[in-house]
Amino acid sequence: METAANHKSLDDLPASWLRPDLRLEEKARRRPDKPAIIFGERIITYRELWDRVARLAAGLTRAGVCPGDRIACLTTNHPAFLETYFAASMIGAIFVPLNFRLARAELRFQIEDAGPSVLILGPTREDYPGSFFQDLRTEAPKIFRIEAGEEAEGASYEELLGGGPAPDRNGPGRTFSREDPQLIMYTSGTTGMPKGALLPFRKTLFNSLNAQCFFELNEDDIVLIAVPLFHSLGLNILSVPVLFQGGTVVLLERFEPAATLEAIARHRVTFFGAVPTIYKRLLDHGLEGGDLSSLRFGFTAGAPIPVSVIEAYHRRGILLKQGFGQTESSILCCLDAHDAIRKAGSVGRPVVHAEVRVVNERFEEVAPGETGEIVARGPIVMLGYWRRAEETEKAFQGSWLRTQDLAVRDEEGFITLVGRTGDMYISGGENVYPEEVERVYPSHPDVEGIAVIGVPDPDLGEVGLAFVVLREGRTLDEETLKSHARGRLSRYKIPRRFVQVSSLPRTVTGKVQKYRLRRRLSDPIG
């Protein structure tokens, strides 16, 4: 069964919808005084946002930015991030959001890989001197600082908005195509070196349309962004679709439980999106003191969310919707709130504007209950990986994007993840999918977190090794942990050994970086 929905044709849509800057201008004309962005005490209306974007585009053009050039942005959540996103669209430049949580060597790699001509630099977790961006293998970008002090190196961001006419909407010599690259977003790095996913304008449009359908968005919606804008969840799934619809984005510079709950109450937020870790921390903080009556729902993506967390929110009257996707595609599947308990553990069914299959090694769709790889095609998939022709070729089979995510689907079409193609291991001739094993343990009172990998075994070929983070005050008891899985898992799936660790290495979305766990091992487990 092909899970395709009836697509809107690109030819049937207004031309302005394909470019975020033109869509923003349209909203600024229609409701100029409507709040577009709220950041602390600052309220930016659609009129003001459009004015700043146009002046920023003019300033960037004067700074020498041309269509196809890259504009990088390195900052905690800030209105300037979104202003630069729209200004890049206006010029025809490619916007490159950078992860401010990266180690210096990791950040240097991404800057050298993308080769931006301009870097918008704002507050980060550490101060970066201008010399950091000069000592590169590529040409150093021009730096414009969002908060430029008297002794700061680089020009002021606000000086870019200092005057001059806005550039022509088509840019100097620019010809526009819906296949033009709009973004380079680096993958979260669960398997090692990140790659820059090259995302076109038509992907942004259809991802926004998918979000509009699933979230039932309208111009009165107010979304709270407590996750980083440099990630697809914060930018592509939450912020841009709401602005596309004419709603309001409330930006928090960083997540903090009390501030998050206060912002929801103060601004009458209608929906909130976050990774599972944030939902857990809010529960630990306590929801009782906050006024959450304005919330229509919460949305979670980025990593599997424990059923116990879904149930805890539902008991408090807060419905959680779930999504599954990748940087390369944004959301592919959605699980609506009314199915969250009935289909707990599933990531839902495919979005409207995409084709999604679960296939075997012969690229045949598997039967319900059988394991296969999720593949997708349609207007929401990437062009390829930036300057990675070989990696791009591996990522596609014809027009189908191979996600490397393994899953099963049931008779109703609901899809449940069971692992990654590289994570699966074979024990005694049987396939073992680590995510299926890990899903058993959130209900154990001693376990805070767990990650399972396959390790060599002289008898069975491979066996499971579980890295476990214990709750405070608990001690590791391997036999108790094994007993917990008996009756829930086949014997060959139960990890042979359990190793206590203080934490699991994760990406910003909460996905465990298992390649880093494998590096910890020096000897086979017998």
- Compute the distance between CA of residue 408 and CA of residue 369 in angstroms, rounded to an integer: 5
Residues 6 or more apart whose CB falls under 8 angstroms from that of 430 comprise 490, 492, 493
Is the per-residue pLDDT at 143 higher than 70? yes
Query: Would you place residue 1 in the very low, low, confident or very high pLDDT band (cuts 50, 70, 90)?
Result: very low
Q: Tell me what pLDDT residue 192 has.
A: 54
Q: Return the residue matching tokens 């609506």.
A: 336
Half-sphere exposure of 347 (CA within 13 A, CB side): 26
Q: Tell me what pLDDT residue 194 has.
A: 76
- Which tokens is 341 given? 């308990």
- Which tokens is 159 given? 């000086």
Q: Tell me what pLDDT residue 5 has.
A: 37
Write out the DSSP string of 204-261.
Answer: HHHHHHHHHHHHT--TT-EEEE-S-TTSHIIIIIIIHHHHHHT-EEEEPSS--HHHHH
Is the per-residue pLDDT at 6 higher than 80? no
C-beta separation of 74 from 110 below 8 A: no
Bridge partners for 333 per DSSP: 324, 350
- 8 or 216, higher pLDDT: 216
- Which tokens is 313 given? 């929110």
- Compute the distance between CA of residue 291 and CA of residue 308 in angstroms, rounded to an integer: 22
Half-sphere exposure of 288 (CA within 13 A, CB side): 2
Domains of the chain: 46-176 (3.40.50.980), 423-519 (3.30.300.30)
- 13 or 327, higher pLDDT: 327
Alpha helices by DSSP H, listed for 291-360, are 307-315
- 134 or 191, higher pLDDT: 134
- Compute the distance between CA of residue 3 and CA of residue 311 in angstroms, rounded to an integer: 28
Write out the DSSP string of 380-430.
Answer: TS-SEETT-HHHHHHHEETTEEEEEEEEEE-TT--EEEEEETTT-EEETTE
Best-predicted range by mean pLDDT among 146-160, 351-365, 497-511? 351-365
Is the per-residue pLDDT at 363 higher than 80? yes
- 461 or 160, higher pLDDT: 160
Q: How open is the CA angle 398-402-403, to the nearest 5 degrees?
A: 160
In degrees and rounded to multiples of 5, residue 110 shows phi and psi of -70, -40
Computed over every residue of the chain, the mean pLDDT equals 89
C-beta separation of 327 from 186 below 8 A: yes
Best-predicted range by mean pLDDT among 44-48, 99-103, 124-128? 44-48
Is the per-residue pLDDT at 414 higher than 50? yes
